[in-house]
Structure 1
């Protein structure tokens, strides 16, 4: 169980509700293209960021993402910016194992990953643009950790709230996280009510009135008052 009441609130939401709340506040909404690599999965946590870049030579340092994993905890999601590269993996099985040992909730990578079966066996959620077997050794190096990165067009800063599921990815700036959670929770509750009415036989066109979905009073409700 999370030590963070804030993350518990987000765990009850999906990326669509969070995206709608961000949209309502005039902030960048969620994005697609980042999907779970194995099975149905969802992950919510505070971002621990890693920025990668092409290998430029010189002495080899620590393997990419290892320092980030070592500073993470059981409320963390590792966020890896590999600039959308599809030709070389930026996350693999031993990283998944190390992250699991630390209690990390999952990884979100703007790039491709490998060792999918190992992640599945560990039940470790991996979200990325796909899979590729090509090693990062000699091809990638870590450019930053703990600094803002870009994932599928979204800026992610250390400590931001990350919500990833089968629909897509949403990122909430930490300083706005309470506000976004409140609005997203209201949106989810409203949509559950609408779904219940549809199941009970309500006309879809009335139940899904755009104003109602947006949380505004419908003309029928205004007349009733």
Structure 2
């Protein structure tokens, strides 16, 4: 049984799409959308609590680039802050294979990855700013793990919930997760009512007005 299998809020987040969570974050005034972080494959889905990794430029002699992986708990999401750098990768096929075998939920990178054929083949979710083959070895190194990091302009702390789907990644801060998930579930209920009304023949503008669609994302 995976570590987070009994984590009710992770399960709640897994039942929501990123758009609903994004709208809930907007209503609550929380910056949790990871800008420009996209899935390697649009079929990827990912939910779990963050294990954060901060990278920096390599020193002389250089430090390590991936030795943290054995310390990541199963069902976690590896969250790597490489300051958006696109000149070298911080994740490749060895990391993908090991993470998949160990039951890690996925990887999110503010930077780039490589060896994308394997992650798509085995269905291991990777979200990043892109992919390119040049290694990060001797170019970057791990500075710290489980410290606050920045991913696409969103702050991520160890233990925050990450949700990824075809539209990208959102972070739900642990101190606000109950409220964010409550609001996101409310938004999905309202949107489902609107869909139902339209399917039954209602005009879209009338259904939106009836169910308060235009205020769903408004700051309250």
Where does the alignment leave 5 or more consecutive residues of structure 2 unmatched? Answer: none
Q: CA deviation at 1:211?
A: 7.1
Residue number in structure 2 paired with 1:181: 181
Residue number in structure 2 paired with 1:66: 67
TM-score by length of 2: 0.90
The correspondence for 2:28, drawn from 25, 28, 46, is: 25
Q: What SS does structure 2 have at the residue aligned with 1:85? A: coil
Sort the Cα spacing of 1:105 and 1:210 in 2 relative to 1 into closer, same or farther, 3 A.
farther
Residue number in structure 2 paired with 1:49: 52
Conserved 8 A contact 1:66-1:95: no
Matched, 1:81 2:81: yes
Q: What SS does structure 1 have at the residue aligned with 2:111? A: strand
Matched, 1:112 2:77: no
Higher relative contact order (CA 8 A, sep 6+): 2
Q: CA deviation at 1:66?
A: 2.9
Moved more, 24-33 or 202-211: 202-211
Q: Distance in 1 between matches of 2:45 and 2:156?
A: 18
Residue number in structure 2 paired with 1:13: 16
TM-score by length of 1: 0.88
Conserved 8 A contact 2:23-2:216: no
Deviations 1:103-155 (A, max 9, x none): 10100101111000111222100001111000111111011111000000000
Residue number in structure 1 paired with 2:6: 3
Residue number in structure 2 paired with 1:159: 159
Sort the Cα spacing of 1:139 and 1:43 in 2 relative to 1 into closer, same or farther, 3 A.
same
Report the structure, 1 or 2, having the larger strand content: 1
Q: Distance in 2 between matches of 1:147 and 1:200?
A: 50
Q: CA deviation at 1:23?
A: 1.3
Where does the alignment leave 5 or more consecutive residues of structure 1 unmatched? Answer: 217-225
Number of residues of Structure 1 aligned to a counterpart in Structure 2 = 213
RMSD over aligned Cα, in angstroms? 1.8
Which structure has the greater CA radius of gyration?
Answer: 1
Q: Distance in 2 between matches of 1:178 and 1:71?
A: 28
Conserved 8 A contact 1:106-1:126: yes
Sort the Cα spacing of 1:65 and 1:155 in 2 relative to 1 into closer, same or farther, 3 A.
farther
Conserved 8 A contact 1:50-1:65: no
Q: CA deviation at 1:65?
A: 3.5
Deviations 1:31-69 (A, max 9, x none): 4311110241121110000111111212x444x2431x2
Residue number in structure 2 paired with 1:36: 39
